[in-house]
Amino acid sequence: MRIGLDVGSTTLKCLVYGEDGAPVFQEYERHFSQVPEKASGMLDRIRERFPEAARAGLCISGSAGMGLAEDLGIPFVQEVYATRTAVKKYRPGADVVIELGGEDAKILFLSGAMEVRMNGSCAGGTGAFIDQMATLLGLTPGELDSLARESGRTYSIASRCGVFAKSDIQALLNQGAQKEDIAQSILDAVVNQTIAGLAQGREIEGDVVYLGGPLTFLAGLREAFDRILGVRGVCPENSLYYVAAGAALSPQIKEFDLEELTGKVRHYSSGRRYQSGMALFHDQEEYEEFLRRHEKDRVGTEAPLPEDGVAFVGIDAGSTTVKAVAMNAGQEIIFSRYLPNAGNPVPLVREFLRDLYKRFPHIRVKAAASTGYGEEIIKNAFSLDMGVVETIAHFTAARKFDPQVDFIIDIGGQDIKCFKIKNGAIDNIFLNEACSSGCGSFLQTFAGALGYGMADFAKCGLFAENPVDLGSRCTVFMNSSVKQAQKDGASMENISAGLSVSVVKNALYKVIRVTDAKSLGRHIVVQGGTFLNDAVLRAFEKEIGQYVTRPSVSGLMGAYGAALYAQEKARGEGSSILGPQELEGFTHEVKASTCQGCQNHCRLTINTFANGARYIAGNRCGKPLQKKGAAAQYNLYDYKKQLLESYTPQKGGRGVIGIPMGLNMFELYPFWHTFFTHLGFGVQASPASTRQMYFKGQHTIPSDTVCYPAKLMHGHIEALLEMAPDAIFYPCMSYNVDEHKGDNHYNCPVVAYYPEVLDSNVTALSQVKFIYDYVGIHRPKDFPGKMQGILGKYFPKIPLREIKQAAKAAYAEYGAYMQRVRDKGQEFLRLAKEQKLPVIVLSGRPYHLDPEVNHGIDTLLCQCGAVVVTEDSVSGQVEKFLTGVLNQWTYHARLYAAAKYVVDSGDKRLNLVQLVSFGCGVDAITGDEVRAILEAGGRIYTQIKIDEITNLGAVRIRLRSLFAALGLGE
Amino acid sequence: MENTRIEFTREMKKEYTILTPNMAPIHFELIKNVLESFGYHIELLRTTGREIVDEGLKYVHNDTCYPALLSIGQLMHALHSGQYDLHKVALIMTQTGGGCRASNYIHLLRKALHKDGLEFIPVISLNLSGLESNSGFKITLPLLRRAIAALTYGDLLMLLKNQTKPYEVEPGASDALVRQWIGKLTGLFEQNKAFTQREVHAYFDDIARSFAQVPQRRVPKVKVGVVGEIYVKYSPLANNGLEDFLFQQGCEVMVPGIVGFMIFKVDNRLEDIRLYGGSQAKKQVCTLLKWYFTKFEADLIAAVKKVPQFTAPSPYAHLKKLAGQVIGYGCKMGEGWLLTAEMMELIENGYENVVCTQPFGCLPNHIVGKGMIRKVKSLYPRANIVPIDYDPSATKVNQENRIKLMLAVAQEDGPAVSAEAVPAGV
């Protein structure tokens, strides 16, 4: 008898072969991290079933089984290797195997050169991802799968990281998108992630085999794979047991006495030590003292409503929950709701209002405000009087509990908000944008995975003696840290406490990035549902070394703040909020459509309510809303785009040169366009970036953690290949133009050498003239000679005289282009000054001009009433100065100069927002330095991290908060 | 941020201890001893553990590359340990001056000190690009010559240790021999010996012979090469003891040396001049320096070749030729084309299994590591390359799992099945 045991990240599987080599037993169950108990139970059942087999061969596989196997001397085979062994036996003709597990995703290429790909540091596109997304929709994964079949359209959802996907989905839900469409979009996202993250340029074709839990249980997922890959894959019988089978078939298998071994497994506890931190509470007494201390920060929640019925309503439609509060004129809460947001906040709010009116028939709502992700839709649906940025709502509420509050931290479902308060105004805001590590939803998902509710899970860590040290990073990474801790024998209690601590550490060290936790402030108010867990609160106090205020309504603060805000801003007459009758006739219709306003073709969801109010979402610009901000015409991003578009395609006798419009070409296009047209070449740029274009090229991206602008280049190259110019020109450039603002004038490594990556990974490029030689435009004198040599490799020799003339024209045109940008920038600044408009220097790299990269943040700023200029339009105004870093990149030197310009202007209406592409390593340095320059000048630093995400909700909140903090109106 | 650099003065040289983060244990030990023979007080940090990472996370931007985080974390940890008089210590950090983030480590370190109110501690930049200078710390010609010799000795010792240790009959014999040689070489350096070309030549032979004499049981082992970002490649702190892990898994390991990297950095300047134009004087200096380094490399290779059981690395010129098939010589940031070349050279030399180590989010590695794997594999269908990311939260279990997978494929794809090898599906 041969037993193969597969200890996966979430499940345990076994397959037993009888003496004749046929499978005789198999079992599958979730192990909830209790590997020894569950595994020994499984072995017990095998022994019961086959009492005659005293000895049997055993081999273990699976990511969570390694420690167990090593310590007990049981042979271990790597799980992908095991899969392969089994596939060789059962599906010998297979070309590609796609196996998705709880936390792993793998592709095996079997035919041709054997290759194995596993998901690396990223868990997007795995079973855990689907679970997480299903939970968000309030469904089981199975329900999600069947719902997806009814879908009529799909949205693009960032699949790389559960965190991004979540915010995409949240935005879709809040916009009123249909659940079935979202379900299908989630499955598609998993497929896209698998292709982008794992196939990395290799085609998936031929006989494809689907293995593992998600692909076995979810037919819709298999269909999505089939559809997107254009294959007909097979999910074989026993698709869950291939790893176990491979283990059982392994030549390494060893024979054991079954009874003895089962006992050993049962009593196995890893002798390994894991890193641990201090206990949260040493004893009950300490805990009670803690409870007493926090008891005093209370506000009534069941207060009466006086005769006159005057009340104020605040609604916070957050990412995972809807909070709603009604309070009396004395600011006591008379009625409240805290509801999980199962996708659509509208019916929840309607329910709340219905209950409120029923409970207090004599109520006279004087003013009502909404806040949070769903602020707009709720305001429109129920005719509330006003919306308020969530940061302001929270501040308003915190002030009620501690008038001297100087620091607020709110940890909600998937966002962390922190703000410093100075002189009664919000001075600095930290929001987690690209990362939800350390938010409540992680604790919740993890608790769920281990079979607990979140509150119970957090509670069980209160008295844990050695909380696991899980570090402070991405939740996705934390999964594997937890896995490791489990492997090393950490108990549930210690893991729970460890997670509470890491939530806090993430907030402090990742989001706020404090060096000294003690310097946060003296009057700290903590809020958000996550802080209702005593373990998290305690971990926070321990980490910062001081006591904080946790209001009793910690989870309702956004809504309470909105109500307080409504009271503060209320005008004489009553609220326009829907009354009981109107509520009865309330309807909510959602229609999907595609905006024809421009080539972006945004997918819009149009919400129509009974009172005729409409709310449109999904738009990236103001066009479908048909409202134009006063300052919309002062957008330097638009101007730059127009300038670039003026370099139109040209024909020429020497052949047509195709240029991919991405990365540094956003600045150098005028240069190359002029250079080549002067030489008598035709020039053609690839079309504007779109999401579809990205998908077209994604299968050739070798590194899934490179920045989005670089990834887009693969799409541009595909587009150019279709246009079939005579040559594609995209040179490597270590050096950029020297603007004499820094210590050197490099390009960043990605901008410098991305053509090498394209050449290496886009196979079709080898069939065409792809000119990606190393070019130095930083040495204008040497340039023509060197260029002559390069072009001579691809075209008949061009006389040096001609090249010299073309180069001269190119340098001149480049200079003129930059000058036009600077001139226009100055003009906008002057106009802003005259009209007293706020100005944002939206700083990034030239390629942040791409609307597919910046997601229309420039337009958003204009909608907020600001004039937008670029970093390169002001950097020229600043003399070279000493920075705290080695100032060695041309583009980045402009950032420092722009920051300096803002500080030196002394004009409080002039501010800087930095765009940072996710994965940009260089911006870890520039971001800190720009912040240092701005803060030294007493200015607020705002950074917006962008990726393929299209959700502007968080960005909008952030920008509105910034405007609010600056005291600038919308 | 105002920025007044604290210089390391001549007076400081006498009484200050220079704290040095560790990278390549053998090489740095030798360099430390060279510096001490020039009158510097050096403390080479050997600290390990989670506290280092935590200190790093606290003081540098969390998205900064792992090497910066670790070396700064190690230094800050030392400063906080209470073992040193903070007014009698200086710190040292390398600075390459290239286009990647690494040139900024020193500034990040200063920022960290600033955050902690320790900005009075001088930080010495160790560079050959003339980026920053200190009156109390001069890289003089004699010092440079000795340092170059020390690095080459380091390369040789590392190479031979890696090829002896998996086969040693008596566990620990190879490591002991390394320690013995470090002691002996240090003594010689102090007597002003063992760094001229002639002496180096002789000692290289002695070293190679001594390793050949370690009693060994030669059994076939899986051969694994390690390439990557220079810090993560060498530092056990960063790569979670990669070499030892591979030894435990029954592998023989080859880690390309530092001298090649030095030649590469010098050669880059020549390439820049070739590609974009530049001064003749600079060209001559670099040509001379390159020639000097290359002589050491040639001696190293010759010494190893004299012992048939050892595999000698290929000379720089050969690596450059290999790289030329897949990538441009202008690609120079970080490890540049050299990293790609090292993968190819290892595969050619029988180390078909390659671990490509990189800090998570390392920009040059997107290009020369992960970016080139496809081309390398199309040239060498038998190549079995696994890229591994290292960062503060990447767990050992995940990394080891992936390496084990590579090893599983390697074991099965042993020399016997070479008939199966077909061109990669490109």
Strands A2-7 and A55-61 come out as parallel
Distance, C-alpha B142 to centroid of its chain: 22
Least CB-CB distance to B371: which of A121, A473, A761? A761
Instruction: Work out the pLDDT band at A538, boundaries 50, 70, 90.
Output: very high
Average pLDDT over residues A758-781: 94
Q: If you average pLDDT over residues A648-669, what whole number do you get? A: 95
Q: Which residues of chain A have a CB within 8 Å of the CB of B272? A: 734
Q: With beta carbons under 8 A apart, name residues in chain B contacting A932.
A: 1, 111
At residue B97, the pLDDT reads 67
Cβ–Cβ gap A515/B370 under 8 Å: no
Residue B362 is encoded by which pair of tokens? 């390392």
Nearest CA in chain B to A276: B50
Position A953 confidence tier, pLDDT thresholds 50, 70, 90: low
Q: Are A158 and A165 in contact (CB under 8 A)?
A: yes
Q: What is the pLDDT of residue A619?
A: 63
Percent of chain B scoring above 90 in pLDDT: 63
* Residue A801 or residue A149, greater confidence: A801
Each residue's pLDDT tens digit, A230-288? 899 999 988 999 999 999 998 889 999 999 999 988 888 655 567 777 888 988 999 99
β-strands A55-61, B17-20: how paired? unpaired
Q: What is the pLDDT of residues B381-400, one digit of tens each?
A: 889 998 898 987 667 777 88
| B1 pLDDT tier (thresholds 50, 70, 90) | very low
Tell me, yes or no, if B265 comes closer than 8 A to chain A by beta carbon: no
Label residue B416 by pLDDT band (50, 70, 90). very low
Cβ-based contacts of A121 with chain B (< 8 Å):
360, 389, 391, 394, 398
Q: Does B275 touch chain A (CB under 8 A)?
A: yes
**Hey, what amino acid is at B92?**
I
Specify whether the CB–CB gap between B358 and B335 falls below 8 A.
Answer: no
Q: Are A167 and A951 in contact (CB under 8 A)?
A: yes
Task: Compare A511 and A232 and report the one with higher pLDDT.
Answer: A232
Band (pLDDT 50/70/90 cuts) for residue A515 is low
Q: Measured between CB atoms, which of B333, B408, B425 is closest to A202? A: B425
Quote the pLDDT of residue A849.
Answer: 96
> Chains A, B: CB contacts under 8 A, how many?
246
Which secondary structure element, helix H or strand E, spans residue B90, and what is its range? Answer: strand B89-94
A105-109 and A96-100 strand pairing: antiparallel
Q: How confident is the model at residue A504 (pLDDT cuts 50, 70, 90)?
A: confident
Q: What are phi and psi of A162, to 5 degrees?
A: -55, -30
Supply the mean pLDDT for chain A.
86
Q: What torsion do the CA atoms of B357, B363, B366, B369 make, to the nearest 10 degrees?
A: -40
Cα separations in angstroms, A612 against A315, A618, B158: 21, 20, 77
Of A112, A705, A786, the CB nearest to B361: A705
Q: Which of A116-125, A338-347, A513-522, A706-715 bottoms out in mean pLDDT, i.e. has the lowest?
A: A116-125
Q: Is A163 exposed, middle or buried (0-12, 13-18, 19+ CB in 10 A)?
A: buried
Note the pLDDT tens digit of each residue in A575-602: 889 988 888 888 888 777 777 666 556 6
Does the beta-carbon distance from B1 to A933 stay under 8 Å? yes
B405 → chain A, closest CA residue: A78
Residue A966 is predicted with a pLDDT of: 76
- Read off the pLDDT band of A629 (50, 70, 90): very low
Contact (CB<8Å) A471/B53: yes
Which percentage of chain A shows pLDDT scores above 70? 89
- Which residue of A477, A702, A888 is in closest CB contact with B373? A702
Cβ atoms within 10 Å, residue A834: 8
| Integer angstrom CA distances of residue B102 from A891, B60, B63, B389 | 18, 13, 13, 17
Q: Write down how long chain B is.
A: 426
Cβ atoms of A1 and A33 within 8 Å: the answer is: no
Exposed, middle or buried: residue A226 (CB in 10 Å: 0-12, 13-18, 19+)? middle
Cβ-defined contact of B103 to A477 (cutoff 8 Å): no
| Residues in chain B within 8 Å Cβ distance of A885 | 104, 107-108, 111
- Whether B240 contacts B213, CB under 8 Å: no
The amino acid occupying position A446 is F
Residues of A in contact with B395 (CB under 8 A): 477, 480-481, 483-484
**Of B272, B367, B421, which has the smallest distance from its Cβ to A749's Cβ?**
B367
pLDDT(A78) > 50: yes
Work out the minimum CA distance from B423 to partner chain A, whole angstroms: 7
Rounded CA separation A240/A233 (Å): 16
Binary contact (A734, B371; C-beta < 8 A): no
| Residue B254 main-chain phi, psi, to 5 deg | -125, 120
Q: Which amino acid is at B87?
A: H
Percent of chain A whose pLDDT exceeds 90: 45
Considering CB atoms only, which of A116, A473, A735 is closest to B409?
A116
- pLDDT value at A970 more than 50: no
Joined tokens for residue A424: 């009664």
Residue A196 pLDDT > 80: no
Q: What number is the average pLDDT over the span B301-310?
A: 95
Q: How far is A737 from chain B, CA to nearest CA, in Å? A: 13
| Range scoring the smallest mean pLDDT among A161-175, A409-423, B113-127 | A161-175
DSSP code string of A324-384: EEEEETTS-EEEEEEEE--S-HHHHHHHHHHHHHHH-TT-EEEEEEEESTTHHHHHHHHT-
CA distance B285 to chain A (A): 21
Q: What is the mean pLDDT of residues A180-197?
A: 86
**Nearest Cβ partner for B360 among A114, A121, A933:** A121
Q: State the smallest CA–CA distance between residue A285 and chain B in angstroms.
A: 31
Q: What is the DSSP string of A870-923?
A: EHHHHGGGS-----SS---BHHHHHHHHHHHHHHHH--TTEEEEEEEETT-SHH
User: Distance between CA A610 and CA A320 in Å, rounded?
Assistant: 26
Length of chain A: 970
In this prediction, residues B170-191 reach a mean pLDDT of 94
Strands A55-61 and A76-77: parallel
Closest residue in B to A516 (Cα–Cα): B58
Q: CB of B274 within 8 Å of any CB in chain A?
A: no
Is residue A747 a contact partner of residue A704, using CB atoms and an 8 Å limit?
Answer: no
pLDDT digits (tens, 9 = 90+) for A706-763: 889 999 999 999 999 999 999 999 999 999 999 888 888 999 999 999 999 999 999 8
> From CA B200, how far away is CA A101, in angstroms rounded?
55
Instruction: Select, from the ranges A296-305, A589-598, A946-955, the one with the highest average predicted confidence (pLDDT).
Output: A296-305
Q: Is the pLDDT of residue A628 over 50?
A: no
Interface test with B, best of A6, A9, A35, A78 (most B CBs within 10 A): A78
Closest partner residue to B405 (CB to CB) among A118, A477, A885 is A118
Q: List the single residue in A with minimal CA-CA distance to B387.
A: A120
Is residue A851 within 8 A of residue A599, CB to CB? The reply is no
Q: Find the mean pLDDT for residues A110-138.
A: 72
The larger pLDDT score, comparing residue A153 to residue A308, is at A308
Measured at the alpha carbon of residue A579, what is the angle toward residues A577 and A581, in degrees to the nearest 5?
145
pTM of the model: 0.81
State how beta strands A115-118 and A105-109 pair. Answer: antiparallel
The residue among B416, B415, B411, B423 whose CA lies nearest residue B350 is B415
Whether the predicted pLDDT of A136 surpasses 70: yes
- Tell me what the mean pLDDT of segment B6-32 comes to: 93
Which residue in this structure is represented by tokens 């080139």?
A: B372
| HEC letters along A368-385 | EEEECCCHHHHHHHHCCC
Query: Is a pLDDT exceeding 50 seen at residue B415?
Result: no
Asked if B270 has any chain A CB less than 8 Å from its own CB, the reply is no
| Angle, CA of A169, A171 and A177, to the nearest 5° | 75
Range with the largest mean pLDDT of A496-500, A578-582, A742-746, B77-81: B77-81
Closest among A46, A27, A82, A114 to A250, alpha carbons compared: A82
Q: Which pLDDT tens digit goes with each residue over B241-278?
A: 999 999 998 999 999 999 999 999 999 999 999 999 88
pLDDT (0 to 100) of residue B326: 95
Separation of CA B251 from chain center: 20
**Residue B336 region by backbone torsions, left for phi larger than 0, else alpha for psi between -120 and 50, else beta:** left
Rounded average pLDDT over A935-948: 84
Alpha carbons B216 and A756: distance in angstroms, whole number: 44
pLDDT at A949 over 70: no
Higher pLDDT, A126 or A812: A812
Nearest residue of chain B to residue A899 (CA atoms): B1
CA distance B204 to chain A (A): 37
- What pLDDT was estimated at residue A471? 65
Q: Residue B425's pLDDT band (boundaries 50, 70, 90)? A: very low
Q: What is the complex's ipTM, to 2 decimals? A: 0.89
Q: Which residues of chain A lie closer than 8 angstroms to B57, CB-CB? A: 471-472, 509
CB A400 within 8 A of CB A564: yes
pLDDT computed for residue A695 by the predictor: 82
| Distance (Å, whole) CA B224 – CA B349 | 11
Q: For residues B390 and B365, what is the distance between their CA atoms, to the nearest angstrom? A: 12
Residue A158 is predicted with a pLDDT of: 66
Q: How far apart are CA A449 and CA A10, in angstroms?
A: 8
**CB-based contact A921 B363, cutoff 8 Å:** yes
Question: Do A757 and B413 make contact, defined as CB atoms within 8 angstroms?
Answer: no
pLDDT at A125 over 70: no
Chain B residue whose CA is closest to A933: B1
Q: What is the DSSP code string of A244-311?
A: HHHHHH-TT-EEEEHHHHHHHHHT--------B---S-SSHHHHHHHHHHHHTS---SSPPPPTT-EE
Lowest mean pLDDT segment, chosen from A74-83, A373-382, A608-617, B208-217: A608-617
Contact A884 B63 (CB under 8 A): no
B37-63 pLDDT, tens digit each: 999 999 999 998 888 988 888 888 877
pLDDT of residue B317: 97
CB atoms within 10 A of CB A219: 15
How far CA B357 is from CA of A45, B163, B227, B354, B399, in Å, comes to 44, 20, 6, 9, 10
What pLDDT is attached to residue A42?
Answer: 93
Q: With an 8 Å Cβ cutoff, are B327 and A483 in contact?
A: no
User: Please, which pLDDT band fits residue A176 given cuts at 50, 70 and 90?
Assistant: confident
User: If we measure between CA atoms, which residue out of A607, A740, A716 comes closest to residue A664?
Assistant: A716
Residue A791 has pLDDT above 60, yes or no: yes
* Identity of the highest mean pLDDT range in A97-101, B351-355, B416-420: B351-355
Residue B183: which of B21, B44, B32 has the closest Cα?
A: B32
Nearest to B331 among A509, A703, A753 (CB): A753
For the stretch A363-398, pLDDT in tens is 999 999 999 878 888 998 899 999 888 888 999 999
Q: Where are the alpha helices (DSSP H) in A570-659?
A: 580-584, 636-645
* CB B403, CB B246: distance < 8 Å: yes
Helix, coil or strand: residue B135: coil
Helices A665-678, A800-835: axis angle to 10 degrees equals 140
